[in-house]
Structure 1
Amino acid sequence: MSGGPGFRFLHAADLHLDSPLEGLARRGAVGGRFAGASRRALENLVEAAIEERVAFVVIAGDVFDGDWRDYATGQFLIRQMARLARAAIPVFAVRGNHDAENVITKALPPTTGYRLFGVRAAETVRLEGLGVALHGRSFAQRHVPENVVLGYPPAVPGWFNIGVLHTSLDGREGHGAYAPCTVDDLRRRGYDYWALGHVHARELVAQDPPILFPGNLQGRHARETGPKGATLVTVEAGRVVAMKALTLDAARFDHIRVDVSGLAGRPALYDRLRGAIAAAFRSAEGRPLALRVTLEGAGPLHGALAGRLEQTQEEVQALAFESDADLLIEKLVDRTEPPGGAERAIAVPGFEAALAEAAADPLLRAALAETLATLAGRLPREALDATGLGQEAGDADAAIGAALALLRAALAGPAGADGRTP
């Protein structure tokens, strides 16, 4: 382990440059305010590196979101890397599954100060003045099922060793198996820090040595909520002494759940939503915000919302504009129930147990996903939204929840004055 000079570096991953922000493409001028977020986030990363006077920057894969539509994407990256080169800050990056060598078909001349690790085998780059050795390997193709860590070289004795890897480790929710490996595999290399990429949520996997996913630089859809950015790492006397998460995203996704139990009319609903939406916008700290709102609870509003979800979403969007012109209601999700609806359905012995067993059936989940995909391609969006299923296409758990809510309501039937099924 090196006892050389102290230094700092930035660890980023999953920039997904020029990725379309999912769910906003059809939202006209309002959605257009989010279009350049991935570029602005990269600009923020470059500015942070210069302001913090870091020694270098590490990008652990998925600089790009896929093949470029035109050369503008590559040119933008080169301009930003040139800013760092002028500040004498080199950048070391690997290709991930989204920007694997066989995915990116266009190319631009090599850029000074931007070093991309090769795909044939793990390589080592030494920074003599700092006593730092960086080890990395890029993806040659989108799917890498083998454990590539086994081919990484051992640590350079007396140097501060950094491993750069795009991986799902031994599995992470919502991620396929990419360059799978274990924490023990990483530790056996003897490195002092592992700069990981691929998982879009920040996670300190291990402390000794630090093994870290910094999360993606910019949220891309409603399931990637909250602050996004990179990690500033401080090294002194050959050891990591601090890891600080820097918030660098240029737009924000968030999700709030609002309990509407007992609310009798739309004015009461809008009063409750107004405060919840304003609080969500304040948490975005001035950034454009795409907000998903889920309405929950049992009460008379359930009937008022049925079949009018699209209209209600537009009304809620109008409320959002009271907070800011850059506050977009990404989706309104109806999870409400009729008064006593869930309880009335449960009166059938074993009903809830049967529903739970069916919801966990992998064959049912696969069939539901296929059916939703077919419906999404054939039916108008408003037809799906009226059921609530269209709000969660692609999210199996949420779609099953919507389907079960519809089933409960249908089996419960109309309620009598005492709230029980006649």
Structure 2
Amino acid sequence: MANHICTTDRITSIIGEGVGKEVCVSDGDLLVVETAPGCWGPMITPSVSGGHEITGPVWVKDAEPGDAVALTIEQVEVLSSATSSGTGRVNPGFFDKDPSVKAICPFCHINNPETELRGTGEEAVRCKKCGSPILPQTFENGYTVVCDHESGLAVVVDGETAQQIAQDTLEGKLYLPKGAKQHLATILGRADFSGLVVRSRPMVGNIGCSPSGRIPASKNAGDCYLSVGNTDLFAPVGKEQITDAHMDIKSVGEGCVVISPVLVPGAGVYVGDVHLTQGDGEIAGHTLDISARVSVRVALIKHLNIEGPILIPSVSELDSRFVPFSDEEYDRADKLLARYGKRLPVRNYPIQFIGSGSNMNEGMENAFDRAQKLTGLPRGELMNRATVGGEIGIGRTSGLVYLTMMLEEKTLEKMGLLKLVLAQYNKQ
């Protein structure tokens, strides 16, 4: 197996424009990328019109629409030493309809103007042409953390430390991959609360294949895509044109397998929006976005025609109720059935279906629709399996969910996923 490295100057904020062959991977290759922070850095940088900066897209040899690509996340290495996040508010007059897509300089009347940093704080981001502060949005309640990779911990710092980190940001001392255009959000120096200790559990918020329509990278999800046409920079797209790669699901970290639909020739695999940690729901709308080096093993699955992602999570990320059963547990189950003269005929394994919509109810229905279409099982059975052998989890409260359920080997075989599922759980 070869290791193909996607160079960090292949960073963009817009996807769906076609996939070049400058970096090409084949089935079984390891793709290693460095990706810049998502969300707040791009969101305060007027020239970035995508809400995220992602690495890629990368051509997968022989991938065609109607196939799928399985991406096994082998390693997520944190490269940031500090980051900032928070709930948000917009600055009226400094954007047109969508502050993450079409920021403006009201003094120069320029869309998505180039900017530079002068000082720190709310007025640090300034138009290169006229020198005016032009922040399109900022924190409503913001905080700054420092992180230590060896201890696996991060700490929310006080105002004095946040200002020191902002100054370090101004002086270019914080890591940012080559090719990234964003201003790091730590330049704002916000510290509206402090003293909270958090555990580092890096996960990838936006990973998968390119959509078939040109959109901002952050809007490649069923709870986000409807706003694509709000500005005159992008044409509206349909849900069938997106791949739901922007999931923000906490289990999408080391050891997770992400199976993404292919909608364009070459697939256009991309990676971005790595989070230091988060819980279910990303309640504040944003979390601790970081620079990271991500290693992903690529596998092409021909003729697996899916409408949205499927996850085969690491056992460590599953609720203990739904981890694969051990041989000893199956023996006990056999003994239980033996009282009635029966034996257990099947084994079951957990997988997760992604669903999305304009709210959580729509997302849940979409997840069941996708599961029913792929498994061929009655909806009532799927609901029962997801009740006693699974659950609904939340990626984003705006409408991105994941449906966990235990499925029989014969069902997984019919779906074309049994080999991948067994490889995942037999190694853990």
Shorter-chain TM-score bucket reads: under 0.3
Higher strand share: 2
Task: Give the TM-score taking structure 1 as reference length.
Answer: 0.25
Higher helix share: 1
**Structure of larger gyration radius:** 1
Higher relative contact order (CA 8 A, sep 6+): 2
Task: Give the TM-score taking structure 2 as reference length.
Answer: 0.24
